[in-house]
Chain A
Amino acid sequence: MLATIGALALCVIGVHRHEPINALWILTAAVCVYLLGYRFYGAWIAARVLSVDATRATPAERNENGRDFVPTHRWIVFGHHFAAIAGPGPLVGPTLAAQFGYLPGTLWILAGAVLGGCVQDMTILLLSTRRNGSSLGQMARDELGPVGGIAALTGTFAIMVILIAVLGLVVVNAMKHSPWATSTVLSTIPVALFIGLYLRIVRPGRVIEGSLLGAALVLLGVIAGGWVNQSPTLRPLFDHPGLPLAGCVIAYGWIAAILPVWLLLAPRDYLSTFLKLGTVIALAIAIVIMHPLIKMPALTQFTDGSGPLFGGKVFPFVFITIACGSVSGFHALIASGTTPKLISSEGDVRLVGYGAMALEALVAIMAMIAATLLDPGVFFAINVGTGIAGAAPDAAAATISSWGFPVTVQEMQALARQMGESSLFARTGGAPSLAVGMASIFGTTFGRGLASLWYHFAIMFEAVFILTTVDAGTRVARFMLQDLLGQLWRPMARTSWYPAVLSSSALVVAAWGYFLYIGVIDPNGGVNILWPLFGIANQMLAAIALSIATGILVKARPPRYALVTALPLAWLTIVTTTAAWQKIVSTDARVGFFAAARDLAGQLASGKLSPDRAAVAPQLIFNQRLDGWLTLFFAGLLWLVIADTARLSIRRLRGLPTPRGSENPYRPSRFQAGES
């Protein structure tokens, strides 16, 4: 039954290649594909490849302490795990990849998740559960050796820095010259502080009350932002260009990372989780009710590499751009952290590992729908930077129309007025176009005339959990840095010693602050450079995780079962290496980092640049070269791990001695199989 509906939906997508298709078909196809993947492929891997054994005691049962090791009901672990893996990534990636048309991104979100992402998450979750919940870095060290361990740690740190920078850039671009968005995002900070005090002092630990109260207050903040926008005295106070806003985000990141967690981070996270789940559910309902037509073509001419959002052909760049919705190495860090300490039975890993990732992919599909239901002309007008389309609105409209996606200045002005913004041209980063898409879905479904409120609700919703990531990411990167510096000078590792905390936080913030600053001064929007770099880093981490899994699975019988992780590993290696190669050696200035640096240096030398662009050109040139070297470093790291895995796998297959690994010996579970 399910298979029939799924096949029908996929057929409809196949047949409608050259005419607008209804979004409901895409959603139906996705739901069916994920359910089938879960029911058959997921179950087969769990039973045969991983030999999931519900009679085997999990770390939560062995080490139960009522604090971090707590045997927990599987649906509750599912909720925890999904809340942890779902971030702003699956919303931004599909929006950017929509420049190729809806088809490449959608197919990758379907296939990548079922065959790659879900498998990775479930496998790492089980392997970590069998190793007392040890982290990815520890597993890399124990199973592959010191090279793998160092690679996993460095990769994690690098991803963290680039991720925070690119997400900070998304928020800055959404707040730029938008008094409504800026005041609303700002209002979430006092709300979070208030909830933090409430949850600690007034009613300790009453999380649901606190979240409800906070959600009501931030909604009030969205409405109050509208009043600010109308007020001639308040409006100028919140109307700022990108650079001062970036300064504020950087200062916020530093302060937030050194405050006690209960004051700002924890309450903000409760709020964002609450809003996230509510919005995702509302979006799904609204898409079903509204069943909008997809206006973007299945494929655009930009598959040839001339894309205006970012340069590069559909292969390999669609697979780099959409990381979090299909395969995300970052998930492996979550699946080997808190979650395995809550699993009460090995039988739950399929629901938690495979299931939560499938749901995350569904969120990415909805982001893709929200991006592609816009008129393509409008989509490109919002997402293309001034460096490509031109700074003046009429020039931008003319350029975009000349690509075959007609759009007029009047149309854009009317849309901006409707959304309560002064302009929607060149609002790069993905958040504004996603907000316009969500506002048009919610606006038609839940009340017309409220589009501007929905738009700013969507911006606030993205900003809240991006700022949570900025805060939490800076903190984790700081712990990693303190750990590293502590090896050089012992006192630096003390997490309660203020000089160590302040200086290491400042170092981390300076690292991502640099990339954020460059992104803001870049006339092409910055996201076009940072996002591919993030994608390459994230897929590289996924490849490291899959290497660890493959290295362990070759011990299984028969060894060919290791192909379930070796094949996605091979695909990611091909994709990441090709992308990195093109980013390094391509002579096309829109693709290659070094080519772009040469191109800009040439323009600067011949005096072709306007004075304001010439002023920032040296920094941009330096940054392009730095990004080129970083890419080379990531690719080198990846191949090092792969070579190490190959060496170990061959030794294992030949029966030669290898690292012993750290799997816990079997101990029977007190719980009856399937009971929890």
Chain B
Amino acid sequence: MSKLRLLGGAARNLWRWLRAASGDDAYERYVAHTSQAHPARPVLSARAFYDERQRRKWSGINRCC
């Protein structure tokens, strides 16, 4: 039983890492940050945030040979 729970915990950690590393949870993080740090500021929609994130990501050098 405890082994199963351990395995489940490891899988959850891996999933969390994968989501963070790939940017899958970027919107959730952004919403959490904005609502906590700047409650007065309007929050972008998921699509607007995705657009802006991609535009910023690809306006500099971030892929190599």
Question: Which residues from chain A contact B50 at a C-beta distance below 8 Å?
Answer: 199-200, 204-205, 262
Question: Which residues from chain A contact B61 at a C-beta distance below 8 Å?
Answer: 156, 333-334, 337, 476
B interface, over-half SS: helix
Question: Which residues from chain B contact A330 at a C-beta distance below 8 Å?
Answer: 64-65
The CB with the most chain A CB atoms within 10 A, among B17, B20, B46, B65, is that of: B65
Question: Which residues from chain A contact B18 at a C-beta distance below 8 Å?
Answer: 208
B40 within 8 Å of A by Cβ? no
| Residues 529-555 of A at the B interface (beta carbon under 8 Å) | 538
The answer, among B46, B58, B64, for a CB contact under 8 Å with A204, is: B46
A79→B21 contact, CB < 8 A: yes
B56→A84 contact, CB < 8 A: no
The CA of A556 and the CA of B2, in the complex, are separated in Å by 52
The CB with the most chain A CB atoms within 10 A, among B23, B54, B57, is that of: B54
A211→B22 contact, CB < 8 A: yes
A337→B47 contact, CB < 8 A: no
The CA of A68 and the CA of B59, in the complex, are separated in Å by 12
A207→B24 contact, CB < 8 A: yes
B59→A479 contact, CB < 8 A: yes
Decide yes or no: A333 and B64 within 8 Å by CB, A66-B37, A205-B49, A262-B51 being known contacts. yes
| Residues 34-55 of B at the A interface (beta carbon under 8 Å) | 34, 37, 45-47, 49-55
| Residues 1-48 of B at the A interface (beta carbon under 8 Å) | 17-24, 26-27, 29-30, 33-34, 37, 45-47
B55→A80 contact, CB < 8 A: no
The CA of A338 and the CA of B23, in the complex, are separated in Å by 14
Question: Which residues from chain A contact B46 at a C-beta distance below 8 Å?
Answer: 204-205
| Residues 186-218 of A at the B interface (beta carbon under 8 Å) | 199-201, 204-208, 211
Decide yes or no: A338 and B21 within 8 Å by CB, A87-B63, A87-B65, A262-B51 being known contacts. no
A76→B64 contact, CB < 8 A: no
| Residues 426-483 of A at the B interface (beta carbon under 8 Å) | 468-469, 472-473, 475-476, 479
Question: Which residues from chain B contact A469 at a C-beta distance below 8 Å?
Answer: 63-65
Stretch from A263-271, A409-417, A559-567, A578-586 contacting the other chain: A263-271
Interface size class of A (residues with CB under 8 A): 35 or more
A331 within 8 Å of B by Cβ? yes
A608 within 8 Å of B by Cβ? no
Question: Which residues from chain B contact A324 at a C-beta distance below 8 Å?
Answer: 64-65
Q: How far is the CB of B26 from chain A (nearest CB, A)?
A: 6
Question: Which residues from chain B contact A323 at a C-beta distance below 8 Å?
Answer: 65
Question: Which residues from chain B contact A204 at a C-beta distance below 8 Å?
Answer: 27, 45-47, 49-50
A207→B64 contact, CB < 8 A: no
The CA of A138 and the CA of B24, in the complex, are separated in Å by 31
Decide yes or no: A261 and B62 within 8 Å by CB, A201-B47, A205-B27 being known contacts. no
A48 within 8 Å of B by Cβ? no
Decide yes or no: A76 and B47 within 8 Å by CB, A87-B65, A337-B62 being known contacts. no
The CA of A255 and the CA of B57, in the complex, are separated in Å by 19
* Residue total for B at the interface (Cβ-Cβ under 8 A): 35
A303 within 8 Å of B by Cβ? no
Question: Which residues from chain A contact B55 at a C-beta distance below 8 Å?
Answer: 261
Q: How far is the CB of A460 from chain B (nearest CB, A)?
A: 18
A75 within 8 Å of B by Cβ? yes
Give the residue name and chain of the B residue nearest to A338 (CB): B62
B53→A67 contact, CB < 8 A: yes
Question: Which residues from chain B contact A265 at a C-beta distance below 8 Å?
Answer: 58
Give the residue name and chain of the B residue nearest to A266 (CB): B54
Q: How far is the CB of B21 from chain A (nearest CB, A)?
A: 4
Question: Which residues from chain B contact A135 at a C-beta distance below 8 Å?
Answer: 60
Question: Which residues from chain A contact B17 at a C-beta distance below 8 Å?
Answer: 75-76, 79
Question: Which residues from chain B contact A207 at a C-beta distance below 8 Å?
Answer: 22-24
B24→A334 contact, CB < 8 A: no
Mark interface residues in A57-89 (1 if CB within 8 Å of B CB, else 0).
000000011111010110110011000111111
A163 within 8 Å of B by Cβ? yes
Question: Which residues from chain A contact B51 at a C-beta distance below 8 Å?
Answer: 200, 262
A631 within 8 Å of B by Cβ? no
The CA of A266 and the CA of B18, in the complex, are separated in Å by 18
A129 within 8 Å of B by Cβ? no
The CA of A469 and the CA of B64, in the complex, are separated in Å by 7
A472→B58 contact, CB < 8 A: yes
Q: How far is the CB of A629 from chain B (nearest CB, A)?
A: 23
The CA of A473 and the CA of B61, in the complex, are separated in Å by 8
Question: Which residues from chain B contact A163 at a C-beta distance below 8 Å?
Answer: 65
Question: Which residues from chain A contact B45 at a C-beta distance below 8 Å?
Answer: 204
Q: How far is the CB of B22 from chain A (nearest CB, A)?
A: 5
Give the residue name and chain of the A residue nearest to B34 (CB): A66
Question: Which residues from chain A contact B62 at a C-beta distance below 8 Å?
Answer: 84, 334, 337-338, 472
Q: Show 7 A/B contacts (Cβ-Cβ < 8 Å), sorted by A.
A: A67-B52, A76-B20, A205-B23, A266-B54, A338-B57, A472-B58, A472-B62
In the A-B complex, list the 3 residue pairs whose CB atoms are closest, starting with the nearest: A66-B33, A89-B65, A79-B21
